[in-house]
């Protein structure tokens, strides 16, 4: 499962020796969402120009950077623990610089320097271009450095990411940054700023380069991807102020998908994340039109009850969401759907929770990423609502939805049995060296015995013969 891949990547150190002339070493560890992993590749690219090669040996690092996540309290605790482990290292190596990037840097700003004394550098998600200057300033005057200014325009469009730590087959391409949705529980609008879209031609250029370098799958990334709208730059909120020409030539997400799928016909295209309120039928028609757009939609709903959705400031009702599910099933019948769900949000009653369970039954999700509500300081929910569902109840409700999802996942996996599916080989199975690991269009993971003629990056037809709720098991057909 995609989330599992990301979960197993938490804390992954991204490495690629990319410039023989570089003498300094960067240890870059990433946490959180796919966007953070994609951002780390941009950071590595910027610092590569400044004489840094990446390393996975902490001992040889001149610079340690943690790209952090603030989405739930637990994510922040993990980072704090990790930072404390660098303490001894700093004592041995006083010249070592430790920096914090990403959402936690943005949320805590100067507080970080006050609270975590071993942190020298704090840089928010829109300020990575300033990293070389900040490092130079630190070198010159020996003081700490910080830049957490959020931008309305920055999309890093012209920066060619150093593809780190991946399998050389699948890559992320960021197409929007920030989020304007202001879901009341969510810290992202505060840590990643206003929503803005990237120049489509720079996106196509990056995709073409990936194809030239033998990549076989591209995942377009955005916090709210269906909201993509290019009209010449600037935040989406200012679209009303655009000129008539800009409005007439604007490109939306469905059009962008069409462009990418047409330009790169021999590779797979995925995208994430779709917000139900912004997912329109034209995107579904584009998925149906192009064979190379994977039949999989990650469609977080957060709750199955309209009143909870209202308290969360999600801009749709339960019924509207169910209509969207029907539309997906009608226009892209073979589509897999996954969700994000939060239990125990402020004031959630037992009845409201039951609505979540019944919505899940209706949607027959393939996968699900499920969380207990974690109050985040500064969010509208924190300011205006009480986090009043006891932890024990949150835990019980979480177990209930996880158990239900496992049953739904198994049902969906069974529907793939005894059929032939096209699989992109991504690597060797972690459990068995003799087996390949890959995914079908619907994003389900498949393992199958290796053959002499197959290699990583090949598309192969696999007959699925068995399954668990998380994995399909098959043989090359």
Separation between Cα atoms, residue 292 and residue 304, nearest integer Å: 32
Q: Does residue 186 bind ligand F3S (CB under 6 A)?
A: yes
SS3 state at 221: strand
Separation between Cα atoms, residue 293 and residue 231, nearest integer Å: 24
Q: Does residue 313 bind ligand SAH (CB under 6 A)?
A: no
Residue 103 contact partner, candidates ligand F3S, ligand SAH, none, CB within 5 to 8 A by sort of partner: none
Please select the residue that binds ligand SAH; options are 102, 276, 300, 474, rule is CB under 6 A.
300
Which 314-343 positions form the footprint of ligand SAH (CB under 6 A)?
340, 342
Other Cβ atoms less than 10 A from the Cβ of 130: the count is 17
SS3 state at 207: helix
Any binding-site annotation on 264? no
Please select the residue that binds ligand SAH; options are 167, 246, 306, 374, rule is CB under 6 A.
374
Q: How do strand 229-230 and strand 251-252 relate by DSSP bridges?
A: antiparallel
Any binding-site annotation on 103? yes
Nearest CA-CA partner of 409 in 335, 468, 339, 343: 468
Q: Pick between residue 25 and residue 192 the one whose CB is nearest to ligand SAH.
A: 192
Q: Partners of 471 in the beta sheet? A: 445
Nearest CA-CA partner of 458 in 415, 432, 426, 430: 426
The enclosing H or E element of 311 equals: helix 306-311
Separation between Cα atoms, residue 28 and residue 450, nearest integer Å: 33
User: Contact letters (x/-) for ligand SAH, 175-214, by CB under 6 A?
Assistant: ----------xx-x--------------------------
Piece of 19-27, 38-46, 175-183, 246-254 that binds ligand F3S (CB under 6 A): 175-183
Q: Does residue 267 bind ligand SAH (CB under 6 A)?
A: no
Any binding-site annotation on 186? yes
Q: Pick between residue 144 and residue 275 the one whose CB is nearest to ligand SAH.
A: 275
DSSP string, 136-199: HHHHHH---EEE----SS---TT------SS-SSEEEEE-EE------TT--HHHHH-S-EE--
Q: How do strand 296-298 and strand 268-272 relate by DSSP bridges?
A: unpaired
Please select the residue that binds ligand F3S; options are 223, 356, 429, 442, rule is CB under 6 A.
223
Nearest CA-CA partner of 197 in 242, 247, 237: 237
Residue 189 contact partner, candidates ligand F3S, ligand SAH, none, CB within 5 to 8 A by sort of partner: ligand F3S
SS3 state at 7: helix
Q: Pick between residue 275 and residue 429 the one whose CB is nearest to ligand F3S.
A: 275
Q: Does residue 275 bind ligand F3S (CB under 6 A)?
A: yes
How many chain residues bind ligand F3S (CB under 6 A)? 10
Residue 374 contact partner, candidates ligand SAH, ligand F3S, none, CB within 5 to 8 A by sort of partner: ligand SAH
Backbone angles phi, psi at 272, to 5 degrees: -165, 140
Q: Pick between residue 223 and residue 442 the one whose CB is nearest to ligand F3S.
A: 223
Q: How far is the CB of 370 from ligand SAH (least distance, A)?
A: 8
Any binding-site annotation on 335? no
Q: Does residue 113 bind ligand SAH (CB under 6 A)?
A: no
Q: Where are the beta strands (DSSP E) in 348-444?
A: 367-372, 420-428, 435-440
Binding-site entries for [4Fe-4S] cluster: 33, 69, 103, 179, 183, 186
The residues binding ligand F3S (CB under 6 A) are 179, 181-183, 186, 188-189, 223-224, 275
- Binding footprint of ligand SAH on the chain (CB under 6 A): 33, 71-72, 185-186, 188, 223-224, 273, 300, 302, 340, 342, 371, 373-374, 376
């Amino acid at each position: 499962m995609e989330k599992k891949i990301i979960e197993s990547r938490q804390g992954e150190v991204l490495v690629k020796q990319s410039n023989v002339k570089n003498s300094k070493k960067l240890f870059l560890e990433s946490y959180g969402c796919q966007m953070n992993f994609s951002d780390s590749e941009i950071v590595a690219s910027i610092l590569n120009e400044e004489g840094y090669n990446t390393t996975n040996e902490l001992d040889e690092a001149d610079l340690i950077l943690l790209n952090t996540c603030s989405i739930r309290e637990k994510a922040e605790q993990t980072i704090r623990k990790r930072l404390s482990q660098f303490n001894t290292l700093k004592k041995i190596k006083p010249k070592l610089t430790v920096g914090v990037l990403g959402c936690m840097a943005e949320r805590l700003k100067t507080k970080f320097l006050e609270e975590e004394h071993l942190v020298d550098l704090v840089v928010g998600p829109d300020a990575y271009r300033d990293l070389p200057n900040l490092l130079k300033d630190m070198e010159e005057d020996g003081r700490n450095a910080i830049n957490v200014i959020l931008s309305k325009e920055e999309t890093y469009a012209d920066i060619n990411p150093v593809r780190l730590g991946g399998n050389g087959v699948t890559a992320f391409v960021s197409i929007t940054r920030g989020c304007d949705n202001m879901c009341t529980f969510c810290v992202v609008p505060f840590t990643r700023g206003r929503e803005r879209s990237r120049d489509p031609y720079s996106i196509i250029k990056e995709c073409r380069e990936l194809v030239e370098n033998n990549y076989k799958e591209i995942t377009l990334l955005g916090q709210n991807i269906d909201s993509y709208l290019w009209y010449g730059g600037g935040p989406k909120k200012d679209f009303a102020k655009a000129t008539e020409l800009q409005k007439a030539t604007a490109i939306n997400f469905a059009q962008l998908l069409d462009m990418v799928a047409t330009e790169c016909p021999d590779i797979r295209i995925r995208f994430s994340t779709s917000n139900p309120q912004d997912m329109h039928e034209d995107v579904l028609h584009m998925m149906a039109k192009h064979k190379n757009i994977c039949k999989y939609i990650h469609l977080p709903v957060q709750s199955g009850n309209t009143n909870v959705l209202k308290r969360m400031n999600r801009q749709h009702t339960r019924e509207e969401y169910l209509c969207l599910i029907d539309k997906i099933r009608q226009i892209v019948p073979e589509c897999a759907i996954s969700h994000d769900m939060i239990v125990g949000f402020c004031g959630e009653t037992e009845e409201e929770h039951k609505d979540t369970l019944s919505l899940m039954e209706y949607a027959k999700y393939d996968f699900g990423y499920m969380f207990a509500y974690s109050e985040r300081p500064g969010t509208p929910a924190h300011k205006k609502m009480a986090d009043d569902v006891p932890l024990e109840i949150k835990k019980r409700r979480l177990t209930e939805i996880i158990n239900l999802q496992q049953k739904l996942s198994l049902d969906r996996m069974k529907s793939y049995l005894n059929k032939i599916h096209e699989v992109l080989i991504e690597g060797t199975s972690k459990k068995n060296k003799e087996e390949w690991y890959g995914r079908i269009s619907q994003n389900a993971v498949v393992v199958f015995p290796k053959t002499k003629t197959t290699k990583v990056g090949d598309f192969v037809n696999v007959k699925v013969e068995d399954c668990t709720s998380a994995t399909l098991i098959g043989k090359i057909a």
